[in-house]
C-alpha cells in the first residue's frame, strides 16, 4: 500500500456561519496529478489553502507530507510548491529578482538559487526574459514565471490553483505541457480548476466539489462512465418547438438536461438518435454532436453548469 | 546558523528599495531643509524678536529643529508602515506570496518593523546633519537625539501597521491621514510649546506619542530639562511601540492565515 502524501478526513472550513468546506475526505498519492474540480465558490481554494498550511482547519483531520499543518506549517511549506491563482509577482522587480527573493525565503543560498533559476527559466522558456521587469511580460509568461517560482525549492508536491484561468488557448497549452513534464519527472500535482478540459487533460484522479462537498470521485474516465453517456447531442430550438419536441426526445434519450438555451440529449449512439428525431419530424435550429465531457458529469451531479 | 526569517523580509525590502529609493531622497533630505529654511530661518527671524522667554531662551531655529526631527520621524514611520502593509495585503500582494513559503505573518511584521527602524535611523541621522549644517545644534547633540527620534517613530510605526491591517477599506486610512496627521504634526509641540494651546487641547497633545518624542529630542539638543521624567517619556513611547507591535502581529495573523 502506497503511503498518501496528503490525507483529509472529515475536513471542514467555516468562516463565521458560512461553511466553505463541508466534511470532505480525500487521499492524494505520490506521483499523481489530483484535481479538485468545481465552480467558483465550491470550496476548492479553501481546501488548497488548508493543504498549503496557511489556513487553519475548522475541524477534521489533515496530514500533509505526513505532518500536521497546525503545528508543522513552516516545515510543510518548506517542502511545498505553491502556484496561486492570483498574480502576486513583484512587478517592479525583474524576473530574476522575483525568483531570487522567493528562493531566499526557503533559506537557499544565492549561488544555489542562481543555478536553480537558470534551470527553471529554461524549463518555463523564459531564459531570454531573465533581466526584464515583470511588468513587461504577457499574461502567459507571468503565469509560467509563477510556476517557476513555485518550483524554486524543488518541491515534491506542487499545489496549483486554477493554473490557466485567464490565459488564451495557446498560452494554456504551453502551461499544460510544462505541467505534464513535471508529472513525468515524478512531482505530485494538486490542481484546482473549473475547466473541464483542463481536468481531463491533466488529472489522473479528481474529486468533483459543489457547495463545499465532494459529490463524486474517480478518474476522468470512470466519472464519465459512471455519470454520463458516450455521446451528447446539443439541440437548439425555436421557442414553441421545444415543448413539442421534448416528449419525443425523451422516448430515445438515456437522459436529457434542459438548459435555458439548449437541450442536452445523452445517448450511447448519437447518430441513431439524430436519425430517429429526423424521422419524427423534429427539426432543431441547430444540432451539435459531441463526446461526453466532465462538464456533463458536473451537470448530472449538481443540475448546474460549471461556468454560468 | 540560518538567518532568522524576519531578516529575509528585511533583505527583500532592501532589494525592493534599491529599485524605488529615488522618491525617498526628497523626503529624507529636502523636507528637513525646506522646513528649517521656511519656518526656522524665515519665520524664526520674526519670532526671535519677541518670544525668547517662551522658547526657553533659545532662538526659534534651535527650538524648532529637534522638534521637527521627532515629528519627521513620525511622518516617515507612518508612511513606511501604512502603505507597505496595505499594498502587501491588497495591491502588491507580496505578503500572500511570502506566506506560501516558510515565512509566517509574525516574520513579515517583525521584518517590516526592523526595516522601518533602519529607515528611521537613516532619516534621523540625515536630519541631525541638516540641523548641524543650519547651525541649529552641534552634530554630536543632534546625533545623540537620534535614538529619541527613532523611538518616537517606532511608537507610530507599529500602531500604524496594526491599523493598516485592520481597516477594511483604503478610504478609511486616507481619511485617517487627512484628519489626524496634520493636527498631530501641527500640535506636536514642534512649532510652539504646547502650553500655548487652549487648555482643552493640551491633554490631547500629551496623549499623542509625538509630543514625548519632541520633548526628548529638544531636551537633548538644547540641554534643557524634560517636561516629564525620562522614564515616563521613554516608557510611554516604548509602551506604544510594544502594544502596537503585539496588536499588529495578531491582526496580520488573522488577515493572512485566514
Q: What is the residue extent of each domain of chain A?
A: 6-225, 229-291
Q: What is the average pLDDT value for chain B, to the nearest integer?
A: 89
Give the number of other CB atoms < 10 A from CB of residue A124. Answer: 21
Sign of the CA dihedral running B177, B182, B184, B190: positive
Q: For residue B196, what pLDDT is reported?
A: 83
Closest CA of chain A from B11, distance in Å: 8
Q: For residue A228, what pLDDT is reported?
A: 87
CA distance A7 to A24: 10
| pLDDT, tens digit only, all 308 positions of chain A | 568 899 999 999 999 899 999 999 999 999 999 999 988 888 999 999 999 999 999 999 999 999 999 999 999 999 999 999 888 999 989 999 999 999 999 999 999 999 999 999 999 999 999 999 999 999 889 999 999 999 999 999 999 999 988 888 888 898 899 999 999 999 999 999 888 888 888 999 999 999 999 999 999 889 988 888 888 989 998 877 888 888 888 888 888 888 888 888 999 888 888 888 888 888 888 889 988 888 888 888 887 666 54
CA distance A74 to A53: 8
Instruction: State whether B94 and A90 contact (CB < 8 Å).
Output: yes
Percent of chain B with pLDDT over 70: 96
Average pLDDT in the B226-234 region? 89
Fold of the domain built from segment(s) A229-291? Alpha-Beta Plaits (3.30.70)
Place of cell 456561519: A17
User: Which of A290, A308, A286, A306 shows the shortest CA–CA distance to A298?
Assistant: A306
Taking CA–CA distances from B14, the nearest residue in chain A reads A101
Q: Name which CATH class applies to A6-225.
A: alpha beta
Closest CA of chain B from A252, distance in Å: 51
**Which phi and psi (to 5°) does residue A144 adopt?**
-65, -35
Q: Give, for A160, the enclosing helix (H) or strand (E).
A: strand A157-161
Q: How confident is the model at residue B204 (pLDDT cuts 50, 70, 90)?
A: confident
Kindly report the pTM of this predicted structure. 0.89
CB-CB neighbors (< 8 A) of A149 in chain B:
97
Torsion (CA) B14, B19, B22, B25 in degrees, nearest 10: 0
Taking CA–CA distances from A108, the nearest residue in chain B reads B2
Q: For residue B199, what pLDDT is reported?
A: 82
Q: Does A54 touch chain B (CB under 8 A)?
A: yes
Q: For chain B, what is the total number of helices (H) and then of strands (E)?
A: 14, 0
CB-CB neighbors (< 8 A) of A104 in chain B:
8, 11-12
Cα B232 from chain centre: 19
Quick: pLDDT tens for B102-146. Answer: 999 999 999 999 999 999 999 999 999 999 998 888 999 999 999
CB-CB neighbors (< 8 A) of A105 in chain B:
5, 8, 12, 98, 101-103
For residue B40 the three cell numbers come to 526656522
Q: For residue B53, what pLDDT is reported?
A: 61
Give the number of other CB atoms < 10 A from CB of residue B30. Answer: 11
For residue A230 the three cell numbers come to 458516450
Nearest CB to B92: which of A54, A73, A90? Answer: A90
- ipTM metric: 0.88
For residue A261 the three cell numbers come to 438555451
Looking at the DSSP assignment, which residues form a beta bridge with residue A81? A158
Any idea how long chain B is? 258
Closest CA of chain A from B247, distance in Å: 20
**Which phi and psi (to 5°) does residue B84 adopt?**
-60, -40
Q: For residue A249, what pLDDT is reported?
A: 87
Strand, coil or helix: A80: strand
Q: For residue A306, what pLDDT is reported?
A: 60
Q: Does A52 touch chain B (CB under 8 A)?
A: yes
CA distance B75 to A97: 30
CA distance B162 to A263: 55
Preferred mutation among B10, B11, B90, B102 to probe A, highest tally of A CBs within 10 A:
B102
CB-CB neighbors (< 8 A) of A88 in chain B:
92-94, 96-97
- Give Cα separations from B196 to A26, A275, B201 (angstroms): 70, 97, 10
Instruction: State whether A107 and B257 contact (CB < 8 Å).
Output: no
Nearest CB to A104: which of B12, B20, B93? Answer: B12
Q: Give, for A264, the enclosing helix (H) or strand (E).
A: strand A263-267
Amino acid at each position: 500500500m502506497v503511503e498518501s502524501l496528503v490525507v483529509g478526513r472529515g475536513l471542514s472550513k467555516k468562516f463565521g456561519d458560512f461553511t466553505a468546506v463541508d466534511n470532505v475526505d480525500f487521499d492524494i498519492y505520490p506521483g499523481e496529478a489530483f484535481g479538485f474540480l468545481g465552480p467558483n465558490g465550491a470550496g476548492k481554494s479553501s481546501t488548497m489553502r488548508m493543504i498549503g498550511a496557511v489556513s487553519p482547519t475548522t475541524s477534521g483531520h489533515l496530514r500533509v507530507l505526513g505532518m500536521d499543518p497546525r503545528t508543522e506549517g513552516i516545515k510543510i511549506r518548506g517542502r511545498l510548491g505553491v502556484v496561486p491563482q492570483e498574480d502576486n509577482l513583484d512587478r517592479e522587480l525583474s524576473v530574476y529578482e522575483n525568483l531570487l527573493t522567493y528562493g531566499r525565503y526557503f533559506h537557499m543560498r544565492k549561488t544555489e538559487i542562481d543555478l536553480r533559476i537558470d534551470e527553471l527559466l529554461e524549463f518555463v522558456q523564459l531564459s531570454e526574459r531573465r533581466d526584464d521587469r515583470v511588468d513587461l511580460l504577457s499574461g502567459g509568461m507571468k503565469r509560467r514565471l509563477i510556476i517557476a517560482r513555485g518550483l524554486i525549492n524543488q518541491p515534491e508536491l506542487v499545489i496549483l490553483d486554477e493554473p490557466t484561468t485567464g490565459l488564451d488557448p495557446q498560452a494554456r497549452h504551453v502551461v499544460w505541457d510544462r505541467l505534464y513534464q513535471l508529472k513525468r519527472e515524478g512531482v505530485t500535482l494538486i490542481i484546482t480548476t473549473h475547466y473541464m478540459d483542463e481536468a481531463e487533460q491533466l488529472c489522473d484522479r479528481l474529486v468533483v466539489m459543489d457547495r463545499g462537498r465532494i459529490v463524486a470521485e474517480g478518474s476522468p474516465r470512470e466519472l464519465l462512465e459512471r455519470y454520463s453517456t458516450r455521446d451528447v447531442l446539443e439541440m437548439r430550438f425555436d421557442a414553441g418547438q421545444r415543448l413539442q419536441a421534448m416528449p419525443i426526445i425523451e422516448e430515445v434519450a438515456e437522459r436529457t438536461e434542459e438548459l435555458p438555451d439548449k437541450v442536452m440529449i445523452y445517448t450511447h449512439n448519437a447518430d441513431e438518435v439524430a436519425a430517429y428525431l429526423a424521422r419524427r419530424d423534429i427539426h432543431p435550429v441547430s444540432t451539435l454532436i459531441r463526446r461526453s465531457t466532465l462538464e456533463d458529469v458536473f451537470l448530472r451531479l449538481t443540475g448546474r453548469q460549471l461556468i454560468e | 546558523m540560518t538567518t532568522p526569517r524576519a531578516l529575509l523580509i528585511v533583505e527583500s525590502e532592501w532589494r525592493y528599495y534599491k529599485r524605488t529609493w529615488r522618491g525617498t531622497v526628497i523626503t529624507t533630505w529636502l523636507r528637513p531643509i525646506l522646513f528649517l529654511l521656511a519656518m526656522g530661518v524665515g519665520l524664526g527671524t520674526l519670532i526671535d524678536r519677541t518670544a525668547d522667554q517662551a522658547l526657553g531662551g533659545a532662538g526659534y531655529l534651535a527650538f524648532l529643529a529637534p522638534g521637527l526631527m521627532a515629528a519627521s520621524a513620525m511622518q516617515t514611520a507612518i508612511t513606511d508602515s501604512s502603505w507597505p502593509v496595505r499594498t502587501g495585503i491588497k495591491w502588491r500582494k507580496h505578503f500572500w506570496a511570502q506566506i506560501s513559503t516558510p515565512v509566517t505573518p509574525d516574520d513579515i511584521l517583525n521584518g517590516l518593523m526592523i526595516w522601518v527602524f533602519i529607515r528611521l535611523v537613516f532619516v534621523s541621522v540625515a536630519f541631525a546633519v541638516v540641523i548641524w549644517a543650519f547651525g541649529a545644534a552641534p552634530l554630536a547633540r543632534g546625533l545623540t537625539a537620534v535614538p529619541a527620534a527613532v523611538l518616537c517613530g517606532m511608537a507610530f510605526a507599529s500602531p500604524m501597521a496594526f491599523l493598516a491591517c485592520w481597516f477594511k477599506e483604503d478610504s478609511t486610512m486616507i481619511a485617517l491621514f487627512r484628519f489626524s496627521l496634520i493636527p498631530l504634526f501641527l500640535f506636536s509641540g514642534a512649532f510652539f510649546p504646547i502650553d500655548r494651546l487652549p487648555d482643552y487641547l493640551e491633554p490631547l497633545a500629551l496623549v499623542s506619542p509625538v509630543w514625548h518624542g519632541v520633548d526628548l529630542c529638544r531636551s537633548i539638543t538644547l540641554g534643557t530639562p524634560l517636561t516629564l521624567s525620562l522614564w515616563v517619556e521613554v516608557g510611554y513611547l516604548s509602551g506604544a511601540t510594544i502594544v502596537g507591535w503585539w496588536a499588529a502581529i495578531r491582526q496580520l495573523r488573522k488577515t493572512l492565515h485566514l
